[in-house]
Homo-oligomer: A and B are copies of this chain.
Amino acid sequence: MPQTPHIERHFTGSATVRDLVIGRADGLTVPFALAAGLSGAVDTTRIIVTAGLAEIAAGAIAMGLGGYLAAQSEAEHYHAERQREVTEVTEKPEAEVTETAEVFRSYGVTEEESRPIVDALRTRPEAWVDFMMRFELGLEQPDPRRAVVSALTIAGAYIAGGCIPLGPYMLLATASAALSVSVVITLIALGAFGYVKGHFTGTPPWRSAMQTVLIGGVAAGVAFVIARAIA
């Protein structure tokens, strides 16, 4: 659907903020739980910081690079399917007319009732292909540049998020002291980012905040119990 350049720019802006918030909320959880878990097993902060930074690097790369490659595959899949639709529209228009009527029939619209619109689409092959991409195949045109920006934003936010639970272990001498500070600041940060995240995902903000705190708390608690049981 056509959009003015202004709206387009506005959308990209808020999508980047959304990636930042989502990446940071997720980046808080696993490094937090890992550091808390290791606090149940060792009391040297050096090992916890090493493990935490290794996890943050691995998680940021897995999320960023993985997300980028997935977006790239999706874009190729879209273009391949679109090419197939273009071929069908130009070479087998009769079969495509049947498929179009089929889309409407699944909503209880008879072939007779949908004929005017099918005929109208026939005279505009470009729009017909767009219509079938969205309504027959359920595919939206992906923005390739968006994928790179999104991957870098999520990875960067994951790294920034991971520094919050890990900070106290870098500054304090014992793991047990660092753990208490880490729990307090991370739960507050999880709540705050969960609240803002709700605005972008459509979940009511307070519920989103409680969910983010719950996931982080449960993950950290289980990791702590498991690590203490082994050590």
**CB-nearest residue of chain B to A106:** B1
A3 CB, nearest partner CB in chain B, Å: 10
A150 CB, nearest partner CB in chain B, Å: 16
- Chain A: number of interface residues, binned into ranges: 35 or more
Residue pair A57, B226 in contact (C-beta under 8 Å): yes
Indicate how many identical chains form the complex.
2
Residue pair A37, B62 in contact (C-beta under 8 Å): no
Q: Is A5 an interface residue (CB 8 A)?
A: no
Task: Specify the main secondary structure of chain A where it touches its partner.
Answer: helix
Report which A residues bind B (CB closer than 8 A): 1-2, 26, 29-30, 33-34, 37-38, 41-42, 46-47, 49-51, 53-55, 57-59, 61-62, 65-66, 69-70, 73, 77, 104, 106-110, 113-117, 119-121, 124, 127-128, 130-131, 134-135, 138, 140, 201-203, 207-208, 211, 214-215, 218-220, 222-224, 226-227, 230-231
